[in-house]
Amino acid sequence: MANLKEIRTRIISVQGTKQITSAMKMVSAAKLRRAQDKIIQMRPYVNKLNEILINLTHSLDNELDTIFATERVLRRVLIVAISSNKGLCGAYNTNVAKKVIHLLETGYSKLNSQNQVDIISIGKKGTELLKNKNVTIAETHHEILDHLSYDLVNPLAKRIIASFENGQYDEVKIIYNQFRNAAIHDLVVENYLPVIVPEESDFKVQDHYDYIFEPTKKDIIRDLIPKSLKIQFYKAFLDSMASEHGARMTAMHKATDNAIEMIKSLQLEYNKARQAAITKEILEIVSGAEALKG
């Protein structure tokens, strides 16, 4: 059994840790609130824009004549992995890195062996994990996450869309955590390009429109698709940011609970050690008194 001084030192140390994790939990909760408001405000706009595109496309009998919806033979692929710049958020970053590696080893194993898969990594922690697994990173853009805004995300989105349009890439996927609530976020692999129009059975298509189209439907679709792709790209960042704060808040909450349990356990151990020390002193006094009597 450890002596009283060692136990007291450990209790003080764990109490300090508990204060830090509790403070970090409160900070993450405040940041989560702001990030959650942003993604909740963005979703109706994204959904309505997608609904318009889908209904217009189906009104053309699914003949979406645009380069962004053209499926090609896969010769070169781009993967955009969104993680975080900071740690202490559980398995948030690890899951992103694992999914990238899984995709390279399964879905794109042949292309990867030919060095035909490029990876754009957003987030320092995810980049570190991928480099530790000897994964080659083509580009990093960690600065976007420091002050996330549409103006910072838009240039990268435009460049990715242009690289698909000019044939540099035949497919683009985004790996990120999709926000559901403070405790739950889903890791998703999103088919960014080419654009895939959902089946008619997957949503409600409006059969009648009270719209006058100027210019034509096809021209409107061609203009709306790049705009929709940019908004979709920004939404992935908002989802990822909200998920990060939720994961960190949950991790710090668990760490605080574990610290409280450890303090209770150490205090119990301290009381037992103190009781044993007192008992030992009493026995020594009694033994000394008996010896003097003898």
Q: Is the pLDDT of residue 200 over 70?
A: no
Choose among 12, 9, 39: nearest CA to 177. 39
Asked if residues 245 and 35 have their Cβ atoms less than 8 Å apart, the reply is: yes
For residues 161-179, give the mean pLDDT. 95
Q: Tell me how far apart the alpha carbons of residues 210 and 218 are, in angstroms, rounded to a whole number.
A: 17
* Lowest-pLDDT choice from 3-17, 41-55, 222-236: 41-55
- Whole-prediction pTM: 0.87
Confidence label for 47 from pLDDT (cuts 50, 70 and 90) = confident
- H or E element that contains 206: none
For residues 65-87, give the mean pLDDT. 90
Asked if residues 165 and 68 have their Cβ atoms less than 8 Å apart, the reply is: yes
pLDDT > 90 fraction of the chain, expressed in percent and rounded: 68
Domains by residue range for the chain, with CATH: 25-250 (3.40.1380.10)
Strands (E) across the chain are located at: 77-82, 117-122, 139-140, 171-179, 185-193
Structure confidence at residue 64 (pLDDT): 58
Q: Is the pLDDT of residue 62 over 60?
A: no
Structure confidence at residue 61 (pLDDT): 58
Which region, left, alpha or beta, applies to residue 181 given φ > 0 means left and ψ of -120 to 50 means alpha?
A: beta
Q: Is the pLDDT of residue 182 over 70?
A: yes
- Greater model confidence, 2 or 154: 154
Structure confidence at residue 1 (pLDDT): 54
Q: Is the pLDDT of residue 136 over 70?
A: yes
Structure confidence at residue 19 (pLDDT): 96
DSSP for 94-160?
HHHHHHHHHHHHTTTHHHHHTT-EEEEEESHHHHHHHHHTTPPPSEE-THHHHT--HHHHHHHHHHH
Range 244-247, long-range pairs (CB < 8 A, 24+ positions): 244/84, 244/86, 244/89, 244/92, 244/177, 245/28, 245/29, 245/31, 245/32, 245/35, 246/28, 246/32, 246/179, 246/181, 246/182, 246/183, 246/184, 246/185, 247/89, 247/90, 247/91, 247/92, 247/177, 247/185
Q: Is the pLDDT of residue 220 over 90?
A: no
For residues 253-277, give the mean pLDDT. 93
Structure confidence at residue 154 (pLDDT): 95
Q: What is the mean pLDDT of the chain?
A: 89
For residues 227-243, give the mean pLDDT. 95
Q: Is the pLDDT of residue 163 over 70?
A: yes
Structure confidence at residue 63 (pLDDT): 57
Q: What tokens appear for 79 in the block?
A: 């993967």
For residues 221-246, give the mean pLDDT. 92
For residues 186-209, give the mean pLDDT. 72
Q: Is the pLDDT of residue 277 over 70?
A: yes
Asked if residues 104 and 117 have their Cβ atoms less than 8 Å apart, the reply is: yes
Asked if residues 62 and 197 have their Cβ atoms less than 8 Å apart, the reply is: yes
For residues 166-192, give the mean pLDDT. 94
Structure confidence at residue 51 (pLDDT): 80
Choose among 118, 104, 88, 114: nearest CA to 23. 88
For residues 209-213, give the mean pLDDT. 64
For residues 23-27, give the mean pLDDT. 95
Q: Is the pLDDT of residue 204 over 70?
A: no
